[in-house]
Structures are given as C-alpha cells and as structure tokens.
Amino acid sequence: PETMTTRFFPAYPWDKSSLKSMPVDLQQFEKLDAYALKVNVKNSVEELVKALLKQARTDLEKVRAIWMWICHHIEYDVVGYHNKSQLSSKPIDVLQTGKSICEGYAGLFEQMCSIAGIQCMKLSGYSKGYGYKMGQTFTGDSDHAWNAVYLDGRWHLLDSTWGSGAVDDSFTKFTFRYNEFYFLTHPALFINNHFPDNSNWQLLKPTLTLKDFENNMLHNSNFYMLGLLTAHPETAVIQTVNGKASVSVDCRSATLFTFKLKGTDEHGLMTLKKHGMKLDIYPQKTGSHKLQVFAKPSKASEEVYNCVLEYVVECKSVDKAMRFPKDLHQPVGPSWFTERQGFLRPSQPDPIIHTNDGRCSVTFTLGKDISVLASLHSDNSSLTEDMRRRHIMQIHRGNQIELKIHLPHAGNFVLKIYAKKKSDPGNYDYIFNYLITCLNTEVKWPAFPQSYSKWAEDYEILEPLSGLLPANRNVQFKLKMHGIAKVLVQAENAYPLTQSRGYWEGTCNTSGCREVFVMVHENANHSFYSHVLKYEVETQ
C-alpha cells in the first residue's frame, strides 16, 4: 500500500527503547484480555468478532482482543503440517477445528481484522523457527506467515502462531504457551527471526539483505523478555583466535548467567558484570562446538535458567595452558553478586590471579557478622581437606580480611571462598571462586602453621609464616596478640616471648624436636597454657 512509503520507519539496529513498536500498557489490557479468553463462539467468524468487540473501543483494543483470542484458542497442527494436502487454511475451518499452521493463523487474523474494520495484511517470508540450523541459508518458497496491522497511522507487526505456544523438538507435540513478545514487536527485533518476501514489510530503514538475515545472531524472545539488550559477536559462528573465543552480553539490570559448551561449563571463564557478562571460551578439542548461554533475573528464586543465545564455536587450535581445574565454578571472580553476599571492595577485581613466586593475596571489606572459610583446589594435587585450608591464611584488621596464599606447587588452582553469618550455627555456604595460575615450576611453599580454637580472629603471625621450620636453627618469632598475660614457644625447651608495642617477640631453637607449639596464658593467675599454633620441624 502507498501509505507505507510516506510513513516513518524505525531505524536498524534496535535503539533499545522498547520491545514494541508503539506504547502499550499491558495492565490496561488485563480486563479486556480476560474477557477475550472467555469468548466461546465457533459458528462463524463474524459472530466471533462481534462478541470480542463488545469490550473493545479503540482500534488497538480491537486488535488486542482478536490477538488474545487466537493465541489461546488455535493450536498448531503438527499432524497437518506433515500432511499439507489434507489441510484447509480457510478462516472458518481454522475456527471450527481449532487448529492450523501459520498460514491459517495469519489468514484468520486478517479476516477478523477486516470484519472489525482494521487494515491488516497477511505477510509471508522466511523464519528462524522450528528446524532452523545456525548459519543456514534460505532458498526456495517462504516457510512462514504473519501479519501487519495499521494502527495510529503506521504499520505494526505481529505473529500469532508464535504468540500461541511452541512445538517440541521432534515436532510431534504443540504446547500452548502465550508469548507477549510477538504482539506489535519492534521491527528492529522482529527482523531477527522474520524475513518478509517483500523487504518493505521489514518496516525498517535501512532494510536488511537476506545475507544479513542469515548471518545475524538469532535472539529468541527470552533474550529480550529478560531485559537483555545486545550480544557480541553478532554473528552465529565464532572462530577461535589462538584457542580462545569471547562472548559478551549487555543487559538492563542484574542478571545471572550460565553457559554450556558441548554440554559442559568446564572450558570457559565467565564473569558477571553490573550490566551483563563476559565469557572467554577455551575449547580443549578442535572442531565445531555448540555454545549455549542461559540467563535468569537475579530476583528469580526458582532455579530455571532460560536459553538466550546459541553460537557455533569453530576451534582450529587448542590452548592447553588454559585447561581449567575441574573444581572451578562459574561465574569466576567477584561481582555485584558477591557484593550482595557481603564481600566488598576486592583488591583483585579480575577472575584470574597470576603469581610468579607462588604467593598472592586478596583483600576484602567484609559486611557485618560474616565468617569466612577459604580452600585451595587443583587437579594434580593430593592436598587433604585440612591442607587445602592451611595454604591460605586469614588476617583480619577491623572489617577488612586478607587471604594470604602460598601455593604448594606450580599450576592452576581454584581459590574457593565460603561464608556464613557468625550468628548462624549452621554450615558455610559457597560464595565464589578465583582462578590462581603459577607457571614457575620452582615454586614449593609449605603450608602455614596450624592454628587452634584459642587463636583469635584478629591475631596475626608476622613470622615465621612457614608451618615448616628448619632443623637446628634459631628461629625468630613475632606475633600480634592482645589480652594475653604470657606467651611460650615450646620446642625441646620452652622459650618465653616478650611483649613490646602489641607484638610478642623472641627466638626459639629447633634442635632435638619434631614439633614446635606456641602456647599462651590468658591470665596471669592461670596455671595452665592453651595451645594456639603448631609448627612442624624439617627432618634432617
């Protein structure tokens, strides 16, 4: 129609303003929607429209009532789809059987609008729907039908077939599942999976070519309904560069993500950002791999993640160094999510901590009443549960916590951080993890000394930090402890430490013993000592 050329076209790409092509207040439709669902007229299309329009005043309301009725009463005919010769797409037949394929949905929609006095077109073209394979080309006849309606001086797009529900993977069963997304969809989003035979009906300027349509990333309606805005790269097939491929998503509000590469999340590093996420993929085999990204709103209590993106990652070479430990959990590193759990101002904002000498540390400001537990994991370590913790030392200064880490050997490690409320008697909950990498094969740090329950949270060891002391040596001790009357270091002999400026200092000789204990008198009147630290001594 000639009106098309004179009307303004929304530009491509999408301006992120609204998912719809005109302002729509869904709450104002609630009564109308409920009414339309209850209308039950099957004898003629005219009678049905007449009944539906009883509650509709404006053209927008009329279109809405027709849309709602079709989406909830016509089911997709999976049998008819496989046997099209038996199939009638005549509006009256569609109405009376209550089932059809896209052709029938669009035809019924067009006729109902026409009866209601609203301009409506039935459009056909290619779609990225059932059976679509990423990166495929489109040839031959169109495979889908939808509609355009004329409201408020402009054309708008809708797809009642896709608004009504979905077909399962084997194309044998249809499930009604209403989808608001396909009602008056913004043209710059509609083009994502609908390519009309006549490019004018893209309602876009500039229009996209079929090649653009084929190459463009398919965003399903979940992507937009979850408040996601853009994804990079914008093409469905990604080639790795030096064994690595990267994907990122921008979104409006805090969203949780997961991913699967060939069904597992082991070969990637995903970090949450305030407005989205970043994912680096390192496939450990060459070839083509399917990558899926899932998302859910952070407010959603249920564990259901929806698939929002699919890519094919083509890997030409493998980066063996980026083989991650099995214990690594996604997402990696700190984020808005860990902030919510009370870990603020991380000294290491990145997910990977690189260390050359096998030592590193990470500091946080802790929220109120939080008790922390940390452990170190690696694939080729025979670390016991106890030793996993003993390679990490916690140092508390006011509301700051420092985790000092001494690696037992080179390699990739996972630093797992758990927390609980101090006031809770229960278990620690896993919060997040870092990846620590060290390539220096000379590295071999012993564990920190073992501490006992009387070692208070805000005590601090300045020296010796190593839990393994040299034999037959004088060893210097310097400990920060308060509220204590006396300190002894018990080797073969007992060595008292003296207090000066809040530190307890002194020397002890390690000859003739296998273990050294630090013991304290909490009170000058006590006759017994409490053990606070234990060191091992090297065998000769």
**Residues 361-371: what's their mean pLDDT?**
95
Q: Lowest-pLDDT range, 301-305, 306-310, 498-502, 522-526?
A: 522-526
* C-alpha closest to that of 404 among 480, 470, 472, 461: 461
> pLDDT above 90 covers what percent of the chain?
82
Residue 8 reports pLDDT greater than 70: no
Looking at residue 242, its pLDDT comes to 96
Looking at residue 6, its pLDDT comes to 43
Catalytic residue among 144, 219, 267, 406: 144
> pLDDT above 70 covers what percent of the chain?
98
Looking at residue 83, its pLDDT comes to 85
CA 244 to chain centre: 19
Catalytic residue among 77, 113, 156, 159: 159
Looking at residue 134, its pLDDT comes to 82
Rounded distance between C-alpha atoms, residue 303 and residue 282, angstroms: 27
102 as an active site residue: the answer is yes
**45 within 8 A of 131, measured Cβ to Cβ:** no
Residue 7: pLDDT band by 50, 70, 90 thresholds?
low
360 as an active site residue: the answer is no
Residue 2: pLDDT band by 50, 70, 90 thresholds?
very low
Catalytic residue among 71, 102, 120, 360: 102
Q: Which domains does the chain have, with CATH numbers?
A: 26-204 (3.10.620.30), 225-315 (2.60.40.10), 336-438 (2.60.40.10), 450-537 (2.60.40.10)
Rounded distance between C-alpha atoms, residue 262 and residue 288, angstroms: 9
Residue 171: pLDDT band by 50, 70, 90 thresholds?
confident
- Which pTM was predicted? 0.85
The 10s digit of each residue's pLDDT in 312-349 is 999 999 999 899 999 999 999 999 999 999 999 999 99
Residue 1: pLDDT band by 50, 70, 90 thresholds?
very low
Looking at residue 82, its pLDDT comes to 86
Greater model confidence, 353 or 85: 353
**Residues 365-369: what's their mean pLDDT?**
94
59 as an active site residue: the answer is no
CA 42 to chain centre: 46
The 10s digit of each residue's pLDDT in 288-298 is 999 999 999 98
The 10s digit of each residue's pLDDT in 384-411 is 888 899 999 999 999 999 999 999 999 9
Rounded distance between C-alpha atoms, residue 160 and residue 184, angstroms: 10
- The dihedral region occupied by 46, where left means phi > 0, alpha psi between -120 and 50, and beta the remainder, is alpha
Looking at residue 9, its pLDDT comes to 64
Mean residue pLDDT across the chain:
93
Task: List all residues 6 or more positions away from 362 whose beta carbon is below 8 Å from its beta carbon.
Answer: 346, 347, 348, 353, 402, 403, 405, 415, 434
